[in-house]
Amino acid sequence: MKLQPPKTYAFILLLLCTSTFYACKDKEMVGGGHDPSKATLFTDFSPRKGAVRTRLYIYGDNFGTDISMIRVYIGNKEIKVAGSNGKQIYCWVPGQTVTGKVRVVIKEGADSVEHTFTDPFTYINSTTVGTLLGNVDELGNSSIVDGTFEEARFSYPGWVSYEPETNVLFVTELDRAVRRVDLNARTVSTLVTNGQASFTKMQTTTLSANKDTLFLGDDNGNLTARTKVAVAYTLRSENYRRVHPYIYDPACYSTAPHPVTNEMFYNGYQGVSIKKAIPDAVTGDLNPKLLFLVGGSTNSNSLIFFHPTGNYAYIVLPTRIYKSIYNWNTRELEPPILFAGSATAGDVDAIGTSARIRKAYQGVFVKNPTYTGQADEYDYYFCDQTNQSIRILTPTGVVSTFAGKGSPTPDGSVRGYIDGDPRTEARFADPSGIDYDPVRKIFYIAERDNKRIRTISVE
């Protein structure tokens, strides 16, 4: 038998000792409670600096193990306490933290112990991909399950709409249901299912300009006659529990209320038709008006997204993005021009029709502070579903990749489920829904195949 060199034995011994140390460390996390009759000792914390998701450790003695009694702050920002073994408190640093001193407060009944370390924790701004919620079984399967963030599951999440007034996400389970994600209460509930208001295959949910109405587009399977509901709506004043018909028409894939006038634009399937809902002068009922066809007469679904000013809209087909100007005199969208991509699918970051897109889906306009004072201050972020990425379209037509396709596998696959740095680590599996919270600077992303809601925290 060939003997291992002495250095190899030493390395193996080091690994065994290290494993034993961390195993013991995990067992220590179930130590005793805080004893108010004894002094509480605070000796140090580490690391001294870090970004979002940094693990912060606080060292000392007599901390107790009940984390509901322990509060940790960096400056005025409270951070999440994940565990304590009595001698060590283990925390997570959340996004949007500030540089500041670390303060610990431990409460036991009426007694309270507080300590502030002299040295500050330096927060490093970063942009990172994370997971908000969603679980699958060992085979990757899931279903519609309501409950807390830890319990809730999704079946086929494909579209998200963020409501800032109540800090809520509406997630469309394609062809199935609309879910309500309460970001404050950290709960998920089902609002609408197929069968309500004669839904066949729910596609998208879009909030009105004043955020009090949620419009639902339905692929009702009827491509010729106006006998089924194409667009329905539900009201915040009714807690989004009652569904009302809005307009009867063949299949609808997306709705786009104008952000200023609140007039309703939507699309159909046949010939990629773009329509406007027009009230009847006598009855007041809404009737469809065909404005134009996009990309020829080929049957396909399309999606409409208005710029926040209302001056134009992007009309999105799988491999192409068109730009349609809104005519403020006629109050209609005009026939569009091809703005980015082409009929040829691909994955190329470039300008205009030189760019290649494989399957564009939901998008959102986000103000770019570097554009302040320019004619257009917004970038357009969109999901490129089968390219497994989030991409950006600038006002000048430049397409680039923002997140996804990080850490590819040895065979070159960029599809998967990995959090972390947007470009070097993060991977997605069929991202198709995206919306943005401009106050907290968080993107919310619905993934069809990972069956999760992911986040991108921008700092």
Residue-wise pLDDT tens digits, 380-422: 999 999 999 999 999 999 999 999 999 888 888 999 999 999 9
Distance from C-alpha of 318 to C-alpha of 343, rounded to nearest angstrom:
9
Highest mean pLDDT among 106-120, 178-192, 286-300: 178-192
Task: Quickly state the pLDDT bin for 25 (edges 50, 70, 90).
Answer: very low
Same domain (yes/no): 296, 387: yes
Cβ-based neighbour number of residue 350 at 10 Å: 15
Domain containing residue 333: CATH number: 2.120.10.30
For the cut 70, the answer to whether the pLDDT of residue 2 exceeds it is: no
Domain count, the chain: 2
Does 423 fall in a domain? yes
> Environment class of residue 92 by beta-carbon count within 10 Å: exposed (0-12), middle (13-18) or buried (19+)?
middle
pLDDT of the residue at 7:
43
For the cut 70, the answer to whether the pLDDT of residue 32 exceeds it is: no
Same domain (yes/no): 110, 134: no
Task: Quickly state the pLDDT bin for 299 (edges 50, 70, 90).
Answer: low
Torsion of CA 360, 366, 371, 377, to 10 degrees: 90
- What the block records as the tokens of 322 is 């068109």
Least confident range from 29-38, 148-157, 245-254, 402-411: namely 29-38
* Interval 338-359 mean pLDDT: 97
pLDDT, the chain, mean? 89
pLDDT of the residue at 138:
84
pLDDT of the residue at 30:
42
Instruction: Give the side-chain half-sphere CA count within 13 A for 227.
Output: 5
Give CA angle at 276 (275, 279), nearest 5°. 140
Contact 342, 351 (CB under 8 A): no
Residue matched to tokens 């409501």: 163
Distance from C-alpha of 68 to C-alpha of 71, rounded to nearest angstrom:
8
Does 22 fall in a domain? no
Domain containing residue 116: CATH number: 2.60.40.10
* Interval 427-432 mean pLDDT: 97
For the cut 70, the answer to whether the pLDDT of residue 5 exceeds it is: no
Does 372 fall in a domain? yes
Does 342 fall in a domain? yes
Same domain (yes/no): 203, 298: yes
